[in-house]
Amino acid sequence: MNPFRRSPFVITAAVLVYIFLYAPIVGLILYSFNASRANVTFEGFIPAFSDKVVMDGSLVLSSPCGPFHWYCDLAKNNDVAEAAGNTLTIAFIATIISTVIGTMSALALQRYNFKMKPFSQLALYIPIVIPEIVMGIGVLTLFSQFFGWANETFNLTGDARLSLGIATVTMSHIAFMVPFVTLVVQARLQGFDKSYEEAAMDLGANEWMTFRRVTFPMILPGIMSGALLAFTLSLDDFVITFFTNGPGSTTLPIYVYGLLRRIITPQVNALSTVWILVVFFAVLLLQILQNRDSKQHS
């Protein structure tokens, strides 16, 4: 009996679900080449290359970039560039901070008992079980009330005025990401044999040296997983960012959302396609690295 045999029912269902998963994405990519600027129906690919953009009503007849017209359009869009920059900045800073403190708390929870422990565990547990929007408006309320009071009391005006922006978004992201980092690193720590650390100390390494030369390299894969997860969460986040951003701190997801409520040209599709491709290659790269890493260790 072939252990890998599956009934035709299962195979058909699987194929259908895969189609369900990819059809919208395929449509999205296709429409990024749409000749029609109104982007309501697909009017075909932009046929010709020319020096200048030639339009007929809402149809693009020819363009310097040909079928990739909307991608060129996208490249010229400064708002997108700014949003992308913000998104990456926030993600990097939030990832670094949340990975460091998340690893520390994972070590604390896994290996020590202290009076504050139940409280820390509860605090780490909450963001995972409550809807993001509850956290989002909570932080918004905190910031708006605090900023309101601080601006009044200290008479802050102009640039000194406290308001929502990159800082608030980053801080909120960290709060949201730390539980996940802690979870991942803790899972990795569970299998960790303490005798490695004892051996290091036995050989003359103090606590810091032991951590640096033995513990840290050994849990590094777990930390990297946590960091990667955190980075993704920040990059993709919509809800919390939605409630904590201000002018000048728009991220890509917020920007796209804004576009969707106004004019939708194929540029949005181009942006989406680029995003999808970047993610695709990043995941592919990750898988290759993981495969290579596990091969080295076997």
Partner 1 sequence: MLQRLRENKSAQGMLLALPTTVWLFVLLIIPLILTLVVSFGRRSPDGNVIYSFTLDNYVRLFGYSTDCPDGQASCFDPLYMNILGRSLSLAFNTTLFVITLAYPLAYFIARAHPKQRNMYLFMVLIPLWTNFVIRVYAWMMLLRKEGAINIILGWMMNLLHIPFTPLEMLYTPGAVLVGMVYEFLPFMILPIYTSLEKIDTSLYEAAADLGANSVKTFLRVTLPLSMPGVVAGTILVFIPVMGTFIVSDILGGRQVILVGNLIQRQFLDARDPTFGSAASLILMVMTLIVTYFYTRKFGFGEEIVVA
Partner 2 sequence: MTNEFAVEMRDVVKKFITPEGSEMAAVDHVTMRIKNGEFFSMLGSSGCGKTTSLRMIAGFEWPTEGEVYIEGKAMGHTPPFQRKVNTVFQSYALFQHLTVYQNLAFGLEMEGAKEEEIKNRVGHALEMVQLTGMDRRKPKQLSGGQQQRVALARALVKTPDVLLLDEPLGALDLKLRKEMQLELKALQQQLGITFIYVTHDQEEALTMSDRIAVMSKGKVQQMGTPVEVYERPANKFVADFIGESNFLEGKVKSISKEEASVFVPGLNTEVIGMPISEGIVKGEDVVVCIRPEKIRIAEKNAVNQNMFHARVTNTVYIGADTHIYVDLHGTKLKVLEQNRISRLDPKSFYSVGQEVWLMLMPENTLVLKKD
Nearest approach in angstroms of CB 212 to partner 2 is: 12
Residue 208: which of partner 1, partner 2, none does it interact with, CB under 5 to 8 A by kind?
Answer: none
DSSP E strands: which ranges in the chain? 48-49, 54-56, 59-63
Residue 60: contacted member of partner 2, partner 1, none (CB under 5 to 8 Å, by partner type): none
Minimum CB separation from partner 1 for residue 47, in Å? 22
Rounded Cα distance between 116 and 108, Å, is 11
Instruction: Find where tokens 């339009």 sit.
Output: 55
> With CB cut-offs between 5 and 8 Å by kind, which of partner 2, partner 1, none does residue 236 bind?
partner 1
Shortest distance, position 124 Cβ to partner 2, whole Å = 24
Residue count of the chain? 298
Alpha-carbon distance 120 to 23, whole Å?
A: 44
Q: Would you count residue 201 as binding partner 2 (CB under 8 A)?
A: yes
**Interface pick for partner 1 out of 57, 112, 194, 195 (rule CB under 8 A):** 112
Name the binder of 243 from partner 2, partner 1, none, CB < 5-8 A by kind: partner 1
Per rule CB under 8 A, is residue 49 in the interface with partner 2? no
105 binds partner 1 (CB under 8 A): yes
| Partner whose footprint covers residue 222, from partner 2, partner 1, none (CB < 5 to 8 Å by kind) | none
Buried b (16+ CB within 10 A) or exposed e, 150-185: eeeeeeeeeeeebebebbbbbbbbbbbbbbbbbbbb
The whole-angstrom separation of Cα 265 and Cα 72 is 13
Q: Which residues, 6+ apart, have CB-to-CB distance to 63 below 8 Å? A: 46, 48, 49, 50, 53, 54, 69, 72
203 touches partner 1 by CB under 8 A:
no
Rule CB under 8 A: choose which of 23, 199, 279, 282 binds partner 2. Answer: 199
Single residue of 76, 131, 195, 247 touching partner 2 by CB under 8 A = 195
5/52 with CB nearer partner 1: 5
**Counting contacts by CB under 8 A, is residue 113 touching partner 2?**
no
How far apart, in Å, are the Cα atoms of 89 and each of 3, 92, 250, 254? 48, 5, 11, 15
Give dist(CA 275, CA 282) in Å, integer.
11
Instruction: List the interface residues with partner 2, window 220-239 (CB under 8 A).
Output: none
